[in-house]
């Protein structure tokens, strides 16, 4: 394990990030100090997974530590695809699914968000938390994530954006130097790309250095 390096190398940061999100008090403080953001918003957003009916298909990309799985209820009967480009991160996600007792609903999948091996319109909910800023081509990622959604399906997620102010520039610089952040995009670009893919009811609101977004596919 390395302190720095890309996600394939399972950097120490990956485990630290997962631990912080799992431990709400310490994590909440770190979120507040590091990003000026409210970790509670992430917890609130993943609850949408738990409101889906049995048989609904979820794509969690990038699943990473499997944070969005916190939203799954044991016995809910979801078809939950946990996708990530890094096998090491998928091992983490699988461990999370077991710990939460929801592994019977979860299918791990090594996949590049830029070329998802899923049919058009085959997914009810795409969960993409703290992912867009890590992808090498965020525009392509948005196109792919919306492509797999059925009409009326929802994309919900969070990301660091380039236009959240100078106060968050150090976090962006450190993440880029550490090799865990991609080129990122602005909030305006993200909203434009969602609209171009035909999404409606697009909401994007900032919490410090993070933006939370949600949109409905048509």
Cβ atoms 215, 201 nearer than 8 A? yes
Does residue number 144 form part of the binding site for ligand SAM (CB under 6 A)? no
Q: Enumerate residues 6+ apart whose C-beta is below 8 A from 9.
A: 2, 88
Instruction: Report how far residue 73's alpha carbon sits from residue 44's, in angstroms, rounded to the nearest whole number.
Output: 14
Is residue 65 part of the contact set for ligand SAM (CB under 6 A)? yes
- Residue among 113, 127, 147, 128 at smallest CA distance from 57: 127
Count of residues that interact with ligand SAM, criterion CB under 6 A: 22
Q: By CB under 6 A, tell whether 135 contacts ligand SAM.
A: yes
Applying CB under 6 A, which of residues 113, 126, 146, 159 lies at the interface with ligand SAM? Answer: 113
**Applying CB under 6 A, which of residues 39, 134, 145, 216 lies at the interface with ligand SAM?**
134
d(C-alpha 72, C-alpha 211), whole Å: 23
Question: By C-beta, is 109 or 217 nearer to ligand SAM?
Answer: 109
Interface with ligand SAM includes 125 (CB under 6 A)?
no
Q: Which of residues 159-218 bind ligand SAM (CB under 6 A)?
A: none
Kindly tell me which of 136 and 198 has the beta carbon lying closer to ligand SAM.
136
Of 31, 80, 129, 161, the one binding ligand SAM (CB under 6 A) is 129
Report the residue number whose CB is nearest to ligand SAM.
64
Q: Is the peptide bond before 98 cis (omega within 30 degrees of 0)?
A: no
Using the contact rule CB under 6 A, the part of the chain among 28-36, 60-68, 148-156, 167-175 near ligand SAM is 60-68
Please report whether residue 64 would count as binding ligand SAM according to CB under 6 A.
yes
User: Angle CA(155)–CA(43)–CA(199) in degrees, nearest 5?
Assistant: 15
**What residues make contact with ligand SAM under the rule CB under 6 A?**
7, 17-18, 61-65, 67, 84-86, 89, 112-114, 129-131, 134-136
């Amino acid at each position: 394990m390395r302190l720095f390096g890309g996600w394939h190398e399972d950097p120490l940061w990956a485990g630290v990030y997962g631990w912080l999100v799992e431990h709400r008090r310490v994590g909440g403080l770190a979120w507040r100090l590091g990003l000026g953001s409210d970790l509670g918003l992430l917890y609130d957003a993943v609850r949408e997974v738990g409101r889906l009916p049995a048989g609904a298909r979820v794509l969690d990309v990038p699943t990473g530590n499997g944070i969005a799985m916190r939203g799954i209820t044991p016995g809910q009967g979801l078809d939950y695809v946990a996708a990530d480009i890094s096998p090491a991160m998928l091992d983490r996600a699988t461990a999370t699914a077991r710990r939460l007792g929801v592994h019977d609903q979860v299918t791990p999948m090594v996949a590049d968000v830029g070329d998802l091996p899923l049919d058009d319109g085959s997914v009810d909910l795409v969960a993409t938390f703290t992912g867009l800023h890590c992808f090498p081509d965020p525009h392509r990622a948005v196109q792919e994530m919306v492509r797999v959604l059925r009409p009326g399906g929802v994309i919900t997620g969070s990301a660091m954006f380039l236009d959240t102010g100078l106060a968050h520039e150090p976090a962006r610089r450190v993440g880029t130097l550490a090799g865990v952040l991609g080129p990122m995009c602005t909030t305006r670009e993200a909203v434009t790309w969602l609209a171009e893919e035909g999404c409606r009811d697009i909401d994007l609101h900032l919490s410090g250095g993070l933006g939370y977004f949600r949109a409905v596919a048509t």
